[in-house]
Structures are given as structure tokens and as C-alpha cells.
């Protein structure tokens, strides 16, 4: 791991830590994003509407138009209660406040008339008393609202039982309430609060507090109080989480068990608003009475009385994005309890989401730093898909609310940050490598050196290299008859074309020396079969030059051609960055380099364009090679055995070359023994050579003049593969 990579990992993990802490604090923005995701789930798969025994008697626009503006006199509300009771309603819950005296009561109206006998007032009816008498023997639940003024607390009609310590500090706080008319409060069978989202700034109602607390007493909401009255239950049973004080996990109402949040809130799982849920109040109060269909719908149902008229300002927004009357959500709360379809966000959800951020973030940091941003992106997309799928399936089949956005957003931020850091810092070194080596290495070698630690450090290593030198024949003559600009154009064409063959065969271009090319294989990284690839590159150069000459690419005219000599040697050399700290070249030095250069020069003496040393030939035995003699190279005390490269593996297996190799072997034996039959054997070899695609006439003319080159051998023993002349490649 490089220092830049170490810093990248540290920076990436620091970002993951920050995101983890941010999620642990759970700011409002993250909560809102999570809630929007849960809303989308409900919109895709809302709770299916069921025709359950829950109805809403709606004081709608049509009712106001027919019966008069709101508020109605309470004797009319008494009539409404009487008729609903007669139809068999199991509970009647008012999502309406009755906190002030009825201003339409006859007693109230006459009291304000000057000169009225006070004794007359006592004989006039009072609508609140009429309403209270109507409530007295019926299953009616009245609602109250929260208030920040006064210290009124409504009378609780139900008891509470606890499996542990009373969780008085778990539900939302109630500081005060709107007072009910005393006679109505006393006559009601149940009392519950009508607040749907107290203290929540969001317009969307996602959870309903089933309980409120003043620290000493719990207060149920209208929906569960209506259910309790309908069931004839007298007590709520509350269960808390083991070893976690002031929490609520379950509320039991009769035989119904309701899972809630730790604060006693119910996640609303709503259905699209349906007309079947509503009955207009005017249909109940019709002079001729309600129709049989209406009576059948009311019988045995829990009835909520509320308003949907626009001017009465009781319109709420659901998770489905629909605007509905607030009383509809009270009814849906009971419907949800009766259907047994609940949503819940388990206590371990936060921990799981935080752990997911840590694991996903750390994985993306490692992938981005050590593999590639593209791989990290692919893994990030896969993680996103898996997170969405897991969250969706948990919602669909388990009613669990697990946030898919926290790990996805955190992972995206981590990936972006790690990628940016890698581009700006970590990949800078690789860009430097690419800039330094881009013109000298193949893309595959570039990739490998980019991922090699300390690739650009100053210094050298001893490695086995295969070194190649290429030189233009008769360059002095060519340059003398060309203008300087034409010489440059010629060299650019020549060097560009032949250097491509080096790079294509995973070689490293060391330098251009005038009309010469120096290249080597097996550095800066290991190259398998480096000797064979060097020989293959030389054969490719031969074809490239033939094409250039045929196309007159140098502009010399079709009667003139350019020739080259190529020398290749394999051995130990020192290779690395050589020069100053701020300006250096990647090069190779040593005896191996000198021998390769001398072999290239010997091509003129041998009369052939490609020569390789014995060590290179031993590592490339499958090519078509013929022994060219042991040459006395400048600066070497012993002769160097060389081989001429005829062609590739396919030529080596051809019948023509097999016959030539046999005749050539006999020629070598004849030369070594100074046999009288040498000339005859030479003629036979020339005849066989005529069938090959390379011109060997000059090669064999030179052999006849160099008999002494086949009488001496290098002092070092040849490789096993070449020790027997009969097995020469």
C-alpha cells in the first residue's frame, strides 16, 4: 500500500465516521427523507380497503346546505345521536369539540333579550342539557383538543393496567386541554383526544399518538376510546420494553393488540379515500328517517361524526398524498386495528441502518482506493439495489419500515469523496507514470506498472532482460542525399512504424539513438516468454519495413529500399530510473546491452537482418532459427554463438524449413571438420533455402567465407537445448 493509498483510506474512513455520527444524531432532514421513502412505499402498495364496521357520518357541504350553517344546535346533535343509536351503532365518536355553551340554545338566546323575566329562563329548554340526556345511556365518545392555556384535564372513563412501571413519560406531553361542557363530560361513555400530529410541523399525518400524558395520567385518543367503548372494555393494558424504562411496545384493547412506537404512536397504514366509508349527516337527519341501506351500514358499526366541509378547516394530508377530513384518519385508525395490518419501525432499525452505513462505506472506500472507481460504482449500484429490495420486501411482507436511503446516500457521498481523492491524489502518481511511459510501453504493461508500488523510485534492479537493437543500413549514404528536414521525416516514419511493433509485443522502448532503436523486455514488470516476444517483434519489424518499402512510404522511389539490422541478446542487466531526482530516464545498462548492440552490428558480417544470441535462442526454441556462427564481438574475450531468425513457429514446422535445417546442420558439421564435401553440402543448403520466403543467398555466401566462425565456441557451456547440433532450433 502506497502512502497516498494509506491517506486515501484514512480520509475515506473519516468521511464514513462523520456520516455515521450524522445518522446517529438523525437530523430533521434525514428523518424527512426517510418518511418520504416510507410514503412512497404506501403509494405503491397501500392498505387494501375492507368493508369493516367503521363509518364516518360526514357533516359535508350538502348537509350544511340542507340543514343550515355550522355550528348546528345541540338538540340536533342529540337527534343525530338518538337516530344512530336506534340504528344499532356500537359506538358514536364525535371528532367535534363541545367546549362552549350552545349559543343557539333558547335559554341562551332569550337571556340576551332586555327585560325578560329571569323565572322564564328556567322554564326554557337548554340544548346542552338535551344533548347530555341523549348521551346518558348511549355509547358516545366525546373529543377534546390540546391547549396551552389553563390546566383543565378531562375526566378519564377508562382504567390503565401496566406490565411494568407506568410509562407516564413516554407519550407526547399534554399541558392543557379545551374544557368540555360539564354535563356533556359527565354523560359521555368515553373521552379521547382528537389531535393527530401534535408538535409535528409536517402537514402529512404519518403517525397517530394513541396516548398523551401529563406525567401522572394517560389520555387515549378518540379512535381507541371509540373501540374500547364498542367492545365494552373498561381498561387498556400497556406493555413496555424489558429493561427500557418509559417505553411502550403494545397497547391491548379488549382482544386487539396494537403494536406502537416507544412513544405510543401508531404508524398509519392508510387506504385510498373511499366513498363507502362516508354517510352524509343529512341522510341520518332526514325527516322521513334514514333508508334501510343506511340503517344496515350503521348497525354494529363504530361511527365517527366529523366534518369535511371546506370552511370548517379539518382537512389533513395522508401518506398517499390525498387531502382527507381529519375524522377519516380516526376511522382509518380503527380500521387498521380491526384488519390487523400494521406498520412498525423496530427498535433495532436505527442500529441496523447505522451498521449498514459503516459496512457499505468502508467497502466502497477500499474498493475505490485499491480496485477502481468503476468497480466501486458497480458494487455501489448493486448495494443500492439490494438495500431497496430488502427494504421493500420488509415493508411488503412484514410491515417493517427500514430506511433504504441512509446507506444509499451515505454510500454515494463516500464513493464520490473517495473517487475525488483518488483522482486528485492517488491517481496523480499513476498519471505521472502514464505520462513518463505512455510512449514507450503497451497499455497492458502500463496498467501493471501503475499498480506496482514505488514504480518510479530512483535506482535500478538486476533483472534478466531480452535487449534489442535496431539500426538502419547505409543511413550515412541516405542522409547525405537528403535535406535535413527530409532526414527528420524519414526517421520519424521509420521509428514510429517499428516502435509500434515493440509496444505491441509488450516491449519497453528505451531510447532512439539517431537511426537506431533500443528496446528491452521483462522490465519494468515481468513479461512471460520475453525472449520469444522480442523475436516475434523483430519478425513483425521485418514485415513492417517490407510494407513501407512496397508503399514507398519514405519517398525514395520504388527502385530504392531501406534495410535494417536487428540484434537480440538475453542476459542479466541493471534496469531502473537513472538520472536526477527531478529528471530521469528509465533505462537498462550492463554487458547484456553491449552484447545486443554488438550482435546488431554483426548483422552486416553475417549478411542477414535478424540475429539472436545463443541465450535468446535457447529461450525461443520454437522459432525458425539457423546457426550463424560464433562471432568475435568487440570488447568480448570469447566468441558469441549466434543464430539467424528465419521466421515464426509456423515456418519452423514447415517441410521446407525442416529439410533446410537438416542440410544446414550437415553444412555446420562439414565446416567444423573441414570436410572436402563442404562445397557440395553448401550448394545443397542453398537449393533448399531457395524455397523459403526469406533471401538467404548473401547469408550462405558469407558462411563460405567464415569457416573459422564454426570452429570455435564460447568458453561457457551452451544451454542444454543447444548442446547438440542435431537439435539446433
pLDDT at 46 over 70: yes
pLDDT at 645 over 60: yes
Per-residue pLDDT of 366-378, as tens digits, reads: 887 777 778 888 8
pLDDT at 729 over 60: no
pLDDT at 628 over 60: yes
Per-residue pLDDT of 544-578, as tens digits, reads: 999 999 999 988 887 788 999 999 999 999 988 77
Per-residue pLDDT band for 11 (boundaries 50, 70, 90) equals confident
Residue 123 has a pLDDT of: 66
Domain ranges of the chain: 3-42+345-435, 48-339, 459-620
Alpha helices in 422-558 (DSSP H): 427-437, 443-450, 475-480, 484-504, 530-550
Residue 26 has a pLDDT of: 87
Residue 559 has a pLDDT of: 73
Per-residue pLDDT band for 595 (boundaries 50, 70, 90) equals very high
| Residue partners of 414: CB distance under 8 A and separation at least 6 | 12, 15, 16, 19, 360, 361, 364, 365
Residue 596 has a pLDDT of: 96
| Secondary structure class of 692 (helix, strand, coil) | coil
pTM for this entry:
0.61
Are 498 and 544 in contact, with CB atoms under 8 Å apart?
yes
Per-residue pLDDT of 379-411, as tens digits, reads: 888 888 998 999 999 999 999 999 988 888 888
Per-residue pLDDT of 661-700, as tens digits, reads: 999 999 888 888 888 888 888 888 889 888 888 999 899 9
Q: Report the mean per-residue pLDDT for the chain.
A: 86
Per-residue pLDDT band for 714 (boundaries 50, 70, 90) equals very low
Per-residue pLDDT of 298-317, as tens digits, reads: 999 999 999 988 767 678 89
Per-residue pLDDT of 126-146, as tens digits, reads: 889 999 999 988 999 999 999
Residue 30 has a pLDDT of: 87
Residue 576 has a pLDDT of: 82
Per-residue pLDDT band for 442 (boundaries 50, 70, 90) equals low
Residue 448 has a pLDDT of: 53
Nearest by Cα to 125 from 114, 134, 136: 134
Of all residues in the chain, the percent with pLDDT exceeding 90 is 53
More confident residue, 390 or 446: 390
- What grid cell was written down for 333? 385508525
Of all residues in the chain, the percent with pLDDT exceeding 70 is 88
d(CA 611, CA 627): 9
Residue 406 has a pLDDT of: 85
Give the DSSP letter of residue 177: B
CB atoms within 10 A of CB 703: 28
d(CA 694, CA 19): 70
Per-residue pLDDT of 232-266, as tens digits, reads: 999 999 998 887 888 999 999 999 999 999 999 99
Between the CA atoms of 680, 681, 687 and 691, what dihedral angle is there, to the nearest 10 degrees? 180
d(CA 551, CA 309): 92
Residue 203 has a pLDDT of: 81
pLDDT at 94 over 80: yes
Per-residue pLDDT band for 717 (boundaries 50, 70, 90) equals very low
- What grid cell was written down for 562? 531501406
Per-residue pLDDT of 208-237, as tens digits, reads: 999 999 989 999 999 999 999 999 999 999
> Cell numbers 448493486 correspond to what residue?
382
Give the DSSP letter of residue 70: S
Q: Got the DSSP string for 152-201?
A: --PPP-SEEEESSS--TTSSPB---BPPPPHHHHHH-SEEEE--SSTT--
Residue 450 has a pLDDT of: 58
459-620 CATH fold: Alpha-Beta Plaits (3.30.70)
Per-residue pLDDT band for 198 (boundaries 50, 70, 90) equals confident
Per-residue pLDDT band for 365 (boundaries 50, 70, 90) equals confident
pLDDT at 580 over 70: no
Per-residue pLDDT of 48-92, as tens digits, reads: 999 999 999 999 999 999 999 888 999 999 999 999 999 999 999
Long-range CB pairs of 105-114 (<8 Å, 24+ gap) are 105/73, 105/74
Residue 706 has a pLDDT of: 72
Residue 115 has a pLDDT of: 61
d(CA 433, CA 450): 7
More confident residue, 712 or 4: 4
Amino acid at each position: 500500500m502506497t502512502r497516498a493509498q494509506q491517506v486515501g483510506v484514512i480520509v475515506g474512513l473519516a468521511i464514513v465516521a462523520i456520516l455515521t455520527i450524522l445518522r446517529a444524531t438523525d437530523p430533521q432532514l434525514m428523518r424527512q427523507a426517510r418518511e418520504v421513502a416510507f410514503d412512497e412505499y404506501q403509494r405503491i402498495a397501500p392498505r387494501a380497503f375492507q368493508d369493516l364496521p367503521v363509518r364516518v357520518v360526514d357533516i359535508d357541504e350538502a348537509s350544511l346546505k340542507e340543514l343550515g350553517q355550522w355550528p348546528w344546535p345541540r338538540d340536533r346533535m342529540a337527534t343525530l345521536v338518538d337516530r344512530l343509536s336506534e340504528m344499532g351503532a356500537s359506538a358514536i365518536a364525535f371528532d367535534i369539540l363541545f367546549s362552549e355553551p350552545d349559543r343557539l340554545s333558547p335559554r341562551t338566546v332569550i337571556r340576551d333579550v332586555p327585560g325578560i323575566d329571569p323565572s322564564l329562563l328556567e322554564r326554557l329548554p337548554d340544548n346542552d342539557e338535551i344533548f347530555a340526556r341523549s348521551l346518558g345511556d348511549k355509547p358516545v365518545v366525546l373529543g377534546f383538543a390540546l391547549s396551552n392555556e389553563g390546566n383543565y384535564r378531562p375526566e378519564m372513563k377508562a382504567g390503565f393496567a401496566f406490565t411494568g412501571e407506568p410509562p407516564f413519560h413516554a407519550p407526547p406531553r399534554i399541558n392543557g386541554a379545551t374544557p368540555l361542557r360539564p354535563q356533556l363530560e359527565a354523560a359521555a361513555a368515553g373521552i379521547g383526544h382528537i389531535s393527530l400530529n401534535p408538535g409535528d410541523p409536517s402537514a402529512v399525518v404519518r403517525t397517530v399518538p394513541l396516548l398523551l400524558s401529563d406525567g401522572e395520567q394517560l389520555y387515549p385518543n378518540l379512535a381507541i376510546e371509540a373501540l374500547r367503548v364498542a367492545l365494552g372494555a373498561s381498561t387498556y393494558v400497556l406493555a413496555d420494553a424489558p429493561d427500557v424504562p418509559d417505553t411502550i411496545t403494545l397497547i391491548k384493547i379488549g382482544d386487539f393488540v396494537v403494536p406502537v412506537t416507544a412513544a405510543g404512536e401508531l404508524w398509519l397504514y392508510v387506504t385510498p379515500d373511499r366513498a363507502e366509508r362516508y354517510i352524509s349527516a343529512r341522510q341520518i337527519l332526514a325527516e322521513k328517517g334514514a333508508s334501510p341501506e343506511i340503517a344496515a351500514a350503521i348497525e354494529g358499526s363504530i361511527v365517527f361524526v366529523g366534518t369535511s366541509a371546506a370552511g370548517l378547516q379539518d382537512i389533513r394530508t395522508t401518506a398517499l398524498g390525498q387531502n382527507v377530513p381529519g375524522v377519516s384518519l380516526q376511522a382509518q385508525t380503527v380500521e387498521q386495528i380491526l384488519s390487523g395490518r400494521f406498520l412498525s419501525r423496530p427498535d433495532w432499525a436505527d442500529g441496523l441502518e447505522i451498521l449498514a452505513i459503516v459496512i457499505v462505506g468502508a467497502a466502497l472506500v477500499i474498493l475505490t482506493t485499491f480496485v477502481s472507481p468503476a468497480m466501486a460504482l458497480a458494487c455501489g449500484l448493486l448495494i443500492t439495489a439490494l438495500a431497496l429490495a430488502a427494504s421493500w420486501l420488509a415493508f411488503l411482507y412484514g410491515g417493517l419500515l427500514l430506511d433504504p436511503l441512509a446507506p444509499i446516500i451515505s454510500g454515494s457521498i463516500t464513493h464520490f469523496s473517495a473517487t475525488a481523492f483518488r483522482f486528485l491524489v492517488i491517481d496523480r502518481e499513476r498519471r505521472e507514470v502514464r505520462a513518463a511511459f505512455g510512449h514507450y510501453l503497451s497499455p497492458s504493461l502500463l496498467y501493471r506498472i501503475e499498480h506496482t508500488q514505488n514504480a518510479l523510485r530512483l535506482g535500478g534492479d538486476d533483472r534478466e532482460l531480452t535487449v534489442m537493437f535496431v539500426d538502419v543500413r547505409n543511413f550515412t549514404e541516405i542522409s547525405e542525399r537528403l535535406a535535413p528536414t527530409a532526414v527528420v521525416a524519414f526517421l520519424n516514419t521509420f521509428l514510429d512504424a517499428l516502435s509500434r511493433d515493440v509496444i505491441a509485443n509488450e516491449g519497453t522502448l528505451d531510447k532512439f539513438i539517431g537511426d537506431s532503436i533500443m528496446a528491452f523486455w521483462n522490465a519494468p514488470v515481468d513479461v512471460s516468454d520475453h525472449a520469444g516476444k522480442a523475436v516475434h517483434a523483430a519478425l513483425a519489424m521485418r514485415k513492417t519495413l517490407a510494407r513501407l518499402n512496397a508503399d514507398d512510404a519514405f519517398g525514395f522511389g520504388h527502385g530504392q529500399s531501406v534495410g535494417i539490422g536487428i540484434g537480440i541478446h538475453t542476459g542479466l542487466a541493471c534496469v531502473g530510473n537513472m538520472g536526477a531526482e527531478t529528471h530521469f530516464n528509465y533505462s537498462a545498462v550492463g554487458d547484456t546491452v553491449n552484447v545486443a548492440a554488438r550482435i546488431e552490428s554483426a548483422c552486416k558480417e553475417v549478411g542477414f537482418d535478424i540475429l539472436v544470441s545463443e541465450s535468446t535462442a535457447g529461450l525461443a526454441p520454437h522459432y525458425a532459427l539457423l546457426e550463424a556462427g560464433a562471432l568475435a564481438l568487440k570488447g568480448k574475450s570469447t566468441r558469441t554463438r549466434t543464430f539467424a531468425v528465419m521466421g515464426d513457429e509456423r515456418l519452423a514446422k514447415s517441410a521446407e524449413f525442416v529439410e533446410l535445417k537438416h542440410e544446414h546442420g550437415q553444412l555446420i558439421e562439414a565446416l567444423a571438420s573441414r570436410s572436402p564435401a563442404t562445397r557440395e553440402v553448401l550448394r545443397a543448403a542453398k537449393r533448399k533455402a531457395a524455397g523459403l520466403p526469406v533471401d538467404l543467398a548473401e547469408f550462405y555466401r558469407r558462411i563460405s567465407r567464415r569457416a573459422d566462425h564454426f570452429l570455435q565456441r564460447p568458453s561457457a557451456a551452451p544451454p542444454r537445448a543447444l548442446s547438440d547440433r542435431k537439435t539446433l532450433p
